[in-house]
Structure 1
Amino acid sequence: MQSSDPRHFFESDAEVAKRERRAAKSSNKLGNPISLKSKILAAIPDPRAPSRSILVAEAAGCVRQVNLDSAYSPSQNPDEPSRPTYRGPTTPVCSVAVGGPNNGTLFAGCWDKTIWSWDLATRVPGRKFVGHSDFVKAVVCATVGGKHVLISGGADKKIIVWDVVTGQRLHTLQDSAVNMLSVQDLMVDVEASTKDEISLVSASSDPHIRRWKIRLDGWERVPDQSESGPGIILEHETTVYRLLLDQTGDDVDLWTASGDGTAKCLSRAKGFAVEDTITHGDHVRAVAVTDQWVITAGRDEDVKVWDRASGKLQCSLVGHYDEVIDLVVLDGGARVCSVSLDGTVRIWQLDQAGLDKAVKDQEKWAAGEQEKKEEAPASLLSPEEEAELAALMEEDD
Structure 2
Amino acid sequence: ATELALDVQRYLNLEPVKAEAPSSLYRFRKFARRNQAALITAAIILILLTVGSVVSTGLAIKATIAQRNADALAKKSQSAQELAELREKDANEQRNLVLRSSRALRQNLYASDMYQAQHFLRDGNIAKTRELLLKYAVSNQSQEPLRGFEWQYLWDRSKGDELFVFDDLERPTGALAFSNDGTLLAAISTDGNVCVWSVRTRMRVAMFEADIQQRWIFGLRMQFSKDDRFLYLGGQRISRLSVRDTSDWSQVACFKGASFPLIEQDKEGQFAAYHNGDFKLFNVNQQRETGAGFSTFPLSGKEIRNYAFTADREMIAIQERNKELISIHDVQSGRKMMDWPHSSSRDTGLMSIAGGLQYVAWMPEIWNRSVDEVQLRLFQPFEEREIQLENSQPGLLIAAEFSPDTQWLVAGGWDYLLHVWEPSTGAKRGSFKGHLDEIFCVAFAPNSQTLASAGKDGRVYLWDLRSMKPKPDLESIAFRKSARDTEELNSRKEFAGVFPSALWAEFERGDVDYFFPSDFKRRGWRISPDGTHLVHRVKDQSLEIHNLTESRFEASLDVIKSERRFGHHKVSHTFVSNDRLLYRTNDGFAVWNVRYDRNEPNKIPEDFIAFKGASSDGRLLAMERENEEAGIVVWDFDAEKAVSVLNGMDHGYHRIVFSPDSKLAIATGWDKRGLVWNTTTGAVQHVLTGHKQGIHAAAFAHDHKSICTSSPDGTIRIWHLETGREMLTFTPDVVGADRLIFSKDNQKLLILGIDKTWLLRVPGLEQIDQGLAAILKENNPL
Q: Which interval holds the TM-score relative to the shorter structure?
A: 0.5 to 0.7
* 1:33 equivalent among 449, 464, 476: 476
Residue 159 in structure 1 maps to residue 159 in structure 2: no
Query: Aligned pair in 2 of structure 1 residues 33, 182: CA closer, same or farther (>3 Å)?
Result: same
Distance 1:316 1:150 in 2: 36
Question: Once the two structures are superposed, what CA deviation does each residue of 1:123-162 show, in whole Å capped at 9, x if it has no partner?
Answer: 655434322222562523459xxxx5422369x9942222
Residue number in structure 1 paired with 2:741 = 328
Distance 2:673 2:539 in 1: 28
Query: Aligned pair in 2 of structure 1 residues 247, 184: CA closer, same or farther (>3 Å)?
Result: closer
Aligned partners of 1:158 and 1:172 also within 8 Å: no
Distance 1:157 1:278 in 2: 38
Q: CA deviation at 1:221?
A: 4.9
Distance 1:184 1:109 in 2: 20
Residue 287 in structure 1 maps to residue 722 in structure 2: no
SS at structure 1 position matched to 2:745: helix
Question: Once the two structures are superposed, what CA deviation does each residue of 1:33-57 show, in whole Å capped at 9, x if it has no partner?
Answer: 12345499xxx99997334784423
In the TM superposition, 1:32-181 aligns within 5 A as 32-38=475-481, 49-51=505-507, 54-55=512-513, 56-61=515-520, 91-93=522-524, 95-98=526-529, 104-107=532-535, 112=540, 114-121=542-549, 126-134=554-562, 137=571, 139-141=574-576, 149-152=580-583, 158-164=588-594, 165-166=596-597, 168=599, 173-176=604-607, 180-181=608-609
Aligned partners of 1:256 and 1:265 also within 8 Å: yes
Distance 2:614 2:724 in 1: 29
SS at structure 2 position matched to 1:93: coil
Q: CA deviation at 1:327?
A: 1.2
Query: Aligned pair in 2 of structure 1 residues 312, 105: CA closer, same or farther (>3 Å)?
Result: same
- List gaps (5 residues or longer) in structure 1: 1-28, 63-90, 191-197, 223-228, 354-397
Aligned AA for 1:127? A
Distance 2:650 2:482 in 1: 28
Aligned AA for 1:202? M
Aligned partners of 1:94 and 1:111 also within 8 Å: no
Aligned partners of 2:719 and 2:727 also within 8 Å: yes
Q: CA deviation at 1:351?
A: 6.2
Residue 241 in structure 1 maps to residue 654 in structure 2: yes
SS at structure 2 position matched to 1:61: helix
Aligned partners of 1:307 and 1:314 also within 8 Å: no
TM-score relative to the length of structure 1: 0.52
Distance 2:537 2:708 in 1: 26
Aligned AA for 1:139? T
Query: Aligned pair in 2 of structure 1 residues 38, 93: CA closer, same or farther (>3 Å)?
Result: farther
Question: Once the two structures are superposed, what CA deviation does each residue of 1:1-29 show, in whole Å capped at 9, x if it has no partner?
Answer: xxxxxxxxxxxxxxxxxxxxxxxxxxxx7
Residue number in structure 2 paired with 1:306 = 719
Query: Aligned pair in 2 of structure 1 residues 330, 124: CA closer, same or farther (>3 Å)?
Result: same
Q: CA deviation at 1:276?
A: 0.8
Residue number in structure 1 paired with 2:175 = none
Query: Aligned pair in 2 of structure 1 residues 214, 110: CA closer, same or farther (>3 Å)?
Result: farther
CA RMSD of aligned residues (A): 4.4
Aligned partners of 1:116 and 1:127 also within 8 Å: yes
Aligned partners of 1:35 and 1:344 also within 8 Å: yes
Query: Aligned pair in 2 of structure 1 residues 238, 149: CA closer, same or farther (>3 Å)?
Result: same
Distance 1:241 1:297 in 2: 14
Query: Aligned pair in 2 of structure 1 residues 310, 199: CA closer, same or farther (>3 Å)?
Result: closer
Distance 1:281 1:97 in 2: 34
Distance 1:311 1:153 in 2: 39
Name the structure where strand makes up a greater proportion of residues: 1
Q: Name the larger-Rg structure.
A: 2
Distance 2:474 2:587 in 1: 37
Distance 1:253 1:310 in 2: 12
* 1:212 equivalent among 627, 635, 651: 635
* 1:263 equivalent among 674, 695, 710: 674
Question: Once the two structures are superposed, what CA deviation does each residue of 1:287-310 show, in whole Å capped at 9, x if it has no partner?
Answer: 112244321124345432234445
Q: CA deviation at 1:281?
A: 3.2
Q: Which has the higher contact order (CA 8 A, sep 6+)?
A: 1
Aligned partners of 1:187 and 1:202 also within 8 Å: no
Residue number in structure 1 paired with 2:623 = 202
Aligned AA for 2:657? L
Distance 2:731 2:539 in 1: 31
Distance 2:641 2:538 in 1: 26
Aligned partners of 1:186 and 1:201 also within 8 Å: yes
Distance 1:186 1:111 in 2: 26
Query: Aligned pair in 2 of structure 1 residues 153, 301: CA closer, same or farther (>3 Å)?
Result: farther
Aligned partners of 2:576 and 2:582 also within 8 Å: yes
Q: CA deviation at 1:252?
A: 2.8
Aligned partners of 1:285 and 1:325 also within 8 Å: yes
Distance 1:275 1:160 in 2: 31
Name the structure where helix makes up a greater proportion of residues: 2
Residue 278 in structure 1 maps to residue 688 in structure 2: yes
Aligned AA for 1:98? P
Distance 1:347 1:157 in 2: 42
Aligned partners of 2:590 and 2:599 also within 8 Å: no
Q: CA deviation at 1:285?
A: 2.8
Distance 2:500 2:696 in 1: 17
* 1:349 equivalent among 757, 761, 779: 761
Query: Aligned pair in 2 of structure 1 residues 350, 123: CA closer, same or farther (>3 Å)?
Result: farther
SS at structure 2 position matched to 1:50: coil
Aligned partners of 2:658 and 2:664 also within 8 Å: yes
Aligned partners of 1:105 and 1:119 also within 8 Å: yes
Distance 1:45 1:272 in 2: 38
Q: CA deviation at 1:328?
A: 1.2
Aligned partners of 2:559 and 2:584 also within 8 Å: no
Distance 2:752 2:649 in 1: 24
Distance 2:505 2:686 in 1: 32
Distance 2:539 2:612 in 1: 13
Residue number in structure 2 paired with 1:393 = none
Query: Aligned pair in 2 of structure 1 residues 282, 96: CA closer, same or farther (>3 Å)?
Result: farther
Distance 2:482 2:616 in 1: 27
Distance 1:45 1:132 in 2: 33
* 2:730 equivalent among 305, 316, 322: 316
Query: Aligned pair in 2 of structure 1 residues 345, 170: CA closer, same or farther (>3 Å)?
Result: same
Query: Aligned pair in 2 of structure 1 residues 131, 257: CA closer, same or farther (>3 Å)?
Result: same
Residue 184 in structure 1 maps to residue 631 in structure 2: no
SS at structure 2 position matched to 1:305: strand
Report % sequence identity.
10
Aligned partners of 1:336 and 1:347 also within 8 Å: yes
- List gaps (5 residues or longer) in structure 2: 1-471, 484-498, 563-568, 766-782
Aligned AA for 1:295? C
Aligned partners of 2:663 and 2:679 also within 8 Å: yes
Distance 1:298 1:282 in 2: 6
Question: Once the two structures are superposed, what CA deviation does each residue of 1:296-353 show, in whole Å capped at 9, x if it has no partner?
Answer: 12434543223444512511241225x2111111142111101111x11111125699
